[in-house]
Homo-oligomer: A and B are copies of this chain.
Amino acid sequence: MAEPATTSNRMLERVAMVLDAVEGSSASASELGRRTGLSVSTVHRLALSMVEYGFLRRVDDGDFKLGHRFVRTALESIATPILTELRNVTGETAQMWIRRGERRICRVTVDSQHELKATLPAGSTLELPNGSSGRLLSHDPEALESVEEHGWVESVGRRTPGLGSVSAPVMLRDQMIATLCLAMPLSRVEVSPGRDFGENLARAARMVGTELETAKQL
């Protein structure tokens, strides 16, 4: 009798086996072969492919570990849908930035669907001082004052001519752990980035902080 359409998939089965194999601890290609029962050449090639697509990453001694797709903090998990909703509401690129030393890193980005858009890939790093998120993350006094007054700080053409942005802090227990940011070409700004978008942005940033707090209570 013919089987109904199956959901089994050989490649996915093998990918899952490899992921399970590195779940607890990293493994070399040979060790992956032993843990999965697959031939070393098969698992070696597969592991290299999995690195390319972010399922694994390779550390200096040649071992494979879970890749960036699995290493996401709770903050990113919480922020991503909120940023997506914010992008849907405003139409502009919505991002989350964190500080690392004297630089900032874009942890999440949800791009505008306009043809003309402000966009940087997630993972981008920038110098701190410019742009609304940079000023906020570097605790620039004027930026903090703007947040105090409006809940957001805006930037017009500071880092990239023709570009506007507005940022709001994500607070956890009175500490700024990240910023949410909307970036857009000035041609779509009516009054100013802050006036146009700041209220929605500040509400989204508070939401991230609240949900993280709730998550932390476990």
A residues bordering B, Cβ < 8 Å?
5, 7-9, 11-13, 15-16, 19, 23-25, 45-46, 48-55, 69-75, 77, 80-81, 83-85, 87, 98-100, 110, 172-173, 177-178, 215-218
Q: Shortest distance in angstroms between A99's beta carbon and chain B's nearest beta carbon?
A: 7
Would you give 26 A-B contacts (Cβ < 8 Å), ordered by A? A5-B45, A7-B45, A7-B52, A8-B49, A9-B49, A11-B12, A12-B49, A12-B50, A13-B53, A15-B15, A16-B55, A23-B80, A24-B81, A25-B85, A70-B70, A73-B74, A73-B215, A74-B74, A75-B218, A98-B218, A99-B218, A100-B218, A172-B216, A177-B216, A177-B217, A178-B218
17 new A-B contacts, CB < 8 A, other than A12-B49, A12-B55, are A7-B49, A8-B49, A8-B52, A9-B11, A12-B52, A13-B53, A15-B53, A16-B53, A16-B55, A24-B80, A25-B81, A69-B70, A72-B72, A73-B77, A98-B218, A177-B216, A178-B218
Neighbour of A7 across the interface among B51, B73, B216, CB < 8 A: B51
Give the residues in chain B near A74, CB-CB below 8 Å. 73-75
- Determine the residue in chain B with the shortest Cβ distance to A19: B69
Nearest chain B CB to A134's CB is how many angstroms away?
15
State the copy count for this chain: 2
Nearest chain-B residue to A111 (Cβ)?
Answer: B24
| A24/B69 contact (C-beta < 8 A), A7-B49, A11-B11, A98-B218 known | no
| Chain B residues with CB under 8 A of A13 | 53
Determine if A84 and B11 form an interchain contact, defined as CB atoms under 8 angstroms apart.
no
Cα-based distance from A172 to B216 in the complex (angstroms): 9
User: Given the complex of chains A and B, what is the CA–CA distance between A75 and B75 in angstroms?
Assistant: 11
Residues of B within 8 A of A215 (CB): 73
Task: Specify the chain B residue showing the minimal Cβ separation from A172.
Answer: B216
Q: Which residues on the B side are within 8 Å of A80 (C-beta)?
A: 23-24
Residues of B within 8 A of A110 (CB): 24
Residues of B within 8 A of A72 (CB): 70, 72
Chain B residues closer than 8 Å to A16, beta-carbon distance: 53-55
